[in-house]
């Protein structure tokens, strides 16, 4: 099928939640993808931060093929060897002690929210249930995770929202301090806000949240759905900050391209989720766990966090050079590791679309931020190619 045929069929049979799309992608290898008409693209969006290993990484493909011939799914009514091994791998590489597996970032956050409430009610104070979250955050699309997401545009039409969330501006410790009351049980925050416009907190902010949690007996929950698996330069984002959360969530690139999410926490907190309190039929099934073991092992063995840090610096430097060339169009560059935003003074949507037309996959977020989430396997050559395309597009503005 060509792009026009795929588009026609999709438009007729799929609910239009994603709107019109420019491309139908059919094949990928490493940092590149091809569309149904044969067009080739440098993928600097990485399936929305999922393809940290690039497309069809041979180790993930091999693990999936091997597991597919052995056992695809059994449910969590049984012990699952790859799931247990994956849990050990994640725990061995973090300061956490136990995992719960699910299928997406939103589900991982749902699990974290449920755990934070239940643990607090049981172990801290029965009347505490409220969670402080940040303006411009993004935590998922279930009813409770859009409530946690403090952006009214995601709530509109779905009210009433889940009770028990309080919003404060991101990167404002004083606001968090003032929002804490005798009902608060946790603070939920992304180490870097990606969907919300690539907002990097000031030095000391996350550490300050940790201190506030300690002083007030609250749980600190890190939404690492985008930042885990090396994107910020360490395996987990929190490892760059010298503090640790009580609960963290991850998904996106955990499965190397297959859908899996996880919530990690300490054993004494995890105890509140006893048998029957939470579940996911598919959560950590043999297929996705085998893929995730291959993905995690590859990220660690190939030191992809190190490459993310190095390439992030190189990329940001190149984008800052562009800012000098196009001061009338570029406001600034922000990010860390390989979550990078080029902040424009103009509408970013047509710019992103023109980049795609010129062979570079990127996306515009918050109307004027061109966001890059490239695979962690990129080299300087890929960055140069991407920057050349952005430069060409901006020259035509
Ligand atoms: C920080 C963060 N949390 C949660 C989610 C939701 O993840 P999912 O779409 O897998 O439910 C996302 C998705 O973009 C995200 O970026």
Q: Give domain status of residue 63, yes or no.
A: no
> Strands, DSSP E only, in the chain?
25-29, 32-35, 40-43, 98-102, 130-134, 165-168, 184-189, 219-223, 247-250, 261-265, 330-336, 339-344, 360-361, 363-365, 369-372
First to last CA, the chain: 34
- Does the C-beta of 382 come closer than 6 Å to ligand 1? no
128 and 80 part of one domain: yes
* Residue 9, both tokens: 């069929």
Question: In this predicted structure, what is the pLDDT of residue 380?
Answer: 98
Is the CB of 194 within 6 Å of ligand 1? yes
pLDDT of residue 114: 98
CATH number at residue 327: 3.90.1150.10
| Rounded distance from Cα 225 to ligand 1 centre (Å) | 6
Strand (E) or helix (H) holding 261: strand 261-265
Residue 235: asked if its preceding bond is cis (omega within 30°), the reply is no
Which tokens go with 205? Answer: 């902010």
Give the pLDDT confidence score for residue 56 in this predicted structure: 98
Q: Does residue 84 sit in the same domain as residue 202?
A: yes
Q: Is 257 helix (H, G, I), strand (E, B) or coil?
A: coil
Instruction: Give domain status of residue 247, yes or no.
Output: yes
Q: Per the domain annotation, does 334 fall within a domain? A: yes
Query: Would 61 be classed as within a structural domain?
Result: no
Which of 242, 276, 301 lies at the terminal end of a domain, its last residue? 301
pLDDT of residue 89: 98
Q: What pLDDT, on a 0 to 100 scale, did the predictor assign at position 32?
A: 98
104 CB within 6 A, ligand 1: yes
Q: Is residue 90 domain-shared with residue 212, that is, in the same domain?
A: yes
Output the residue whose Cα is nearest ligand 1's atom 13. Answer: 140
Enclosing domain of residue 320? 3-56+303-395
Determine the distance from the C-alpha atom of residue 197 to the mean position of all C-alpha atoms in its chain, rounded to a whole number: 13
> 284 phi and psi, to 5 degrees?
65, 40
Nearest alpha carbon, ligand 1 atom 7 = 105
Is any atom of ligand 1 closer than 6 Å to the C-beta of 190? yes
Q: Single out the residue of 220, 221, 248 nearest to residue 236, CA to CA.
A: 248
Q: Which of 140, 259, 260 to mutate to test the pocket of ligand 1 (most atoms within 8 A of CB)?
A: 140
Closest by alpha carbon to 67, among 352, 287, 315? 287
For ligand 1, the distance from its centroid to the CA atom of residue 327, given in whole angstroms, is 33
Residue 166: strand pairing partners: 132
**Same domain assignment for residues 40 and 181:** no
236 alpha carbon – ligand 1 mean position (Å): 16
Residue 374 belongs to some domain of the structure: yes
Ligand 1 mean position to 334 CA, how many Å? 20
Residue 38 CB contacts under 8 Å (≥ 6 apart), including other chains: none
Confidence at residue 16, expressed as pLDDT on a 0 to 100 scale: 97
Same domain, 323 and 287: no
Query: Are 45 and 372 within 8 A, CB to CB?
Result: yes
Is the CB of residue 82 below 6 angstroms from any atom belonging to ligand 1?
no
Pocket test for ligand 1, best of 18, 138, 373 (most atoms within 8 A of CB): 138
Residue 220, ligand 1, Cβ within 6 A: no
Query: What is the whole-number distance in angstroms between the Cα of residue 49 and the centre of ligand 1?
Result: 9
Q: How far is CA 213 from CA 114, 206, 239, in A?
A: 18, 11, 18
How many whole angstroms separate alpha carbon 307 and alpha carbon 37? Answer: 33
Q: What is the pLDDT of residue 191?
A: 97
How much is the pLDDT for 46? 96
Any atom of ligand 1 within 6 Å of the Cβ of 149: no
370 forms beta bridges with 342, 364
263, 90 Cβ separation under 8 angstroms: no
Counting ligand 1 atoms within 8 A of each CB, the residue from 104, 105, 231 with the most, and so the one to mutate, is: 105
What beta strand segments (E) does 45-148 contain?
A: 98-102, 130-134
Q: Are residues 214 and 344 in the same domain?
A: no
| Residue 51 belongs to some domain of the structure | yes
Q: Ligand 1 centre from 75 Cα, in Å? A: 24
Residue-level pLDDT at 44: 98
Write the CB contacts of 319 (distance below 8 Å, at least 6 apart in sequence). 330, 333, 340, 342, 387, 390
35 and 171 part of one domain:
no
Looking at the fold, whether 240 and 269 belong to one and the same domain comes out as: yes
Domain identity same for 208 and 319:
no
Pair 294, 321 in one domain: no
Dist CA 346 CA 367 (whole Å): 9
How many domains does the structure of the chain reveal? 2
245 in Cβ contact with 221 (< 8 Å)? yes
- 226 Cβ inside 6 Å of ligand 1: yes
Active site residues: 138, 223, 252
Q: Report how far residue 224's alpha carbon sits from residue 51's, in angstroms, rounded to the nearest whole number.
A: 15
228 lies in some domain: yes
Instruction: Mark which of 285, 301, 317 sits at the end of a domain.
Output: 301
Ligand 1 mean position to 87 CA, how many Å? 21
Q: What is the pLDDT of residue 107?
A: 98
Residues 221 and 341 in one domain: no
Q: 355 and 297 in one domain?
A: no
Rounded Cα distance, 264 and 102, in Å? 11
C-alpha distance from residue 299 to each of 34, 61, 284 (Å):
24, 15, 19
Below-70 pLDDT ranges, the chain: none
Does the CA dihedral 163-169-171-174 come out positive or negative? negative
Last-in-domain residue among 301, 323, 340? 301
In a domain, 328, yes or no: yes
Q: Is 224's C-beta closer than 6 angstroms to any atom of ligand 1?
A: no
Whole-angstrom Cα distance, residue 92 to residue 365? 35
**CATH assignment at residue 151:** 3.40.640.10
Give the ligand 1 atom nearest the CA of 252: 10
């Amino acid at each position: 099928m060509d792009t026009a045929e795929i588009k026609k069929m999709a438009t007729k049979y799929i609910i239009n939640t994603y709107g019109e799309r420019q491309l139908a992608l059919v094949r990928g290898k490493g940092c590149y993808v091809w569309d149904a008409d044969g067009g080739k693209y440098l993928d600097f969006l990485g399936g929305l931060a999922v393809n940290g290993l690039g497309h069809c990484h041979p180790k993930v493909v091999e693990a999936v093929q091997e597991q597919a011939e052995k056992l695809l799914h059994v449910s969590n009514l049984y012990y699952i060897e790859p799931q247990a091994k994956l849990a050990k791998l994640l725990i061995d590489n973090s300061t956490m002690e136990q995992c719960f597996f699910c299928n997406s970032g939103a589900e991982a956050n749902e699990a974290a929210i449920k755990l934070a409430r239940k643990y607090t009610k049981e172990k801290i104070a029965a009347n505490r249930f409220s969670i402080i979250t940040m303006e411009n955050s993004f935590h998922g699309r279930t009813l409770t995770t859009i409530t946690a997401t403090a952006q009214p545009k995601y709530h509109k039409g779905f009210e009433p929202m889940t009770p028990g969330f309080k919003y404060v501006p991101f990167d404002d410790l004083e606001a968090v301090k003032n929002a804490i009351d005798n009902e608060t049980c946790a603070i939920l925050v992304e180490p870097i806000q990606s969907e919300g416009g690539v907002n990097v907190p000031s030095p000391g902010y996350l550490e300050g949240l940790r201190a506030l949690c300690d002083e007030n007996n609250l749980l600190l929950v890190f939404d690492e759905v985008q930042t885990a698996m090396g994107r910020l330069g360490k395996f987990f984002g929190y490892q760059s900050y010298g503090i640790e959360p009580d609960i963290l969530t991850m998904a996106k690139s955990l499965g190397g391209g297959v859908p899996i999410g996880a919530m990690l926490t300490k054993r004494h907190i995890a105890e509140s989720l006893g048998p029957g309190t939470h579940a996911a039929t598919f959560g950590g099934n043999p297929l996705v766990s085998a893929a995730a073991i291959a993905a995690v092992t590859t990220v660690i063995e190939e030191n992809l966090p190190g490459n993310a840090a190095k390439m992030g610096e190189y990329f940001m430097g190149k984008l800052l050079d562009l800012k000098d060339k196009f001061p009338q169009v570029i406001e600034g560059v922000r990010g860390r590791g390989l979550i990078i935003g080029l902040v424009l003074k103009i509408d970013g949507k047509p710019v992103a679309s023109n980049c795609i037309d010129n062979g570079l996959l990127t996306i515009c977020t918050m109307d004027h931020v061109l966001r890059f989430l490239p695979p962690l396997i990129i080299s300087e050559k890929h960055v140069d190619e991407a920057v050349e395309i952005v430069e060409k597009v901006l020259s035509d503005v």
